[in-house]
Amino acid sequence: MIKTYFVTGTDTSVGKTLASCALLQAASKFGYNPVGYKPVSSGGKITSSGLRNNDALALQANSYFNLSYDFINPISFQEEAPPNIISKKIGKPIEFSLMSSGLKKLQLLSKWIIIEGAGGWFTPLSMDKTYADWVLEHRLSVILVVAIKLGCINHALLTAKSILSSGLSLLGWIANEIENDVIYKNEYLLTLDYMIEAPCLGVIPYLGLNKIKLFLGDYLNLSLLI
């Protein structure tokens, strides 16, 4: 049976890539041969191989299979801006069909797929559609990443409620400590654990620089997800 999980966050820059890499590493340790997928990215650099996004490269590096970049990130924009805004600016619509065909290719290769979204749950991909619409179309199970900081409780509860009210499964959430020495950190975690209707899969501590290069899978309890 193919397991496909969609990783969303309470906002942009909350650690979706970090959490997704942790999930891929933990799954590899369990022997699931996982792959990561970043259907849409914005903010990239032109290289000798083409446009490359750091988040997608991290997913590529932590995937079991040695796949070409286009398999991991089929839709990419150079400018770091909301996808709907930049796609309209350059006249490159974001097609659900392309996102879906990319997912189908990966599902032929792997039975354990982590899909990283862009921004938060309702990030627009056009004036008519949000990322949540695509996730709902595929009935994907969702994992929520919460950045532990002031205001995170409200953002997390609103996002979790939106996911559940859509009829999708919120299988778990991951706490990411994006700041060092957050006041009331433990109280935040206790409150979130009590109020979110899904288990906490783990807490990724503040790691400073080069966090993607560390082994992150040990911070998660993948058995709660499985």
**31 a known binding residue?**
no
Catalytic residue among 3, 38, 104, 129: 38
How far apart are the C-alpha atoms of 71 and 59, rounded to whole Å?
A: 11
The SS3 of residue 102 is helix
186 is in an annotated binding site: no
- Report the phi/psi class of residue 71: left, alpha or beta, with left for phi > 0 and alpha for psi in -120 to 50: alpha
Asked if 88 is an active-site residue, the reply is no
Q: Is 160 annotated as a binding residue?
A: no
Q: In this structure, what token pair is assigned to residue 19?
A: 């959490």
The answer on whether 42 is annotated among ligand-binding residues is yes
Select from 80, 85, 172 the least CA-distant residue to 123: 85
Q: Is 91 exposed, middle or buried (0-12, 13-18, 19+ CB in 10 A)?
A: exposed
Is there a binding annotation on residue 79? no
Instruction: Check the annotation: does 16 bind a ligand.
Output: yes
206 assigned to a ligand binding site: yes
Binding annotation: 13-18, 42, 55, 116-119, 176-177, 205-207
Binding annotation for ATP: 13-18, 55, 116-119, 176-177, 205-207
Binding annotation for substrate: 42
The residues carrying an active-site annotation are 38
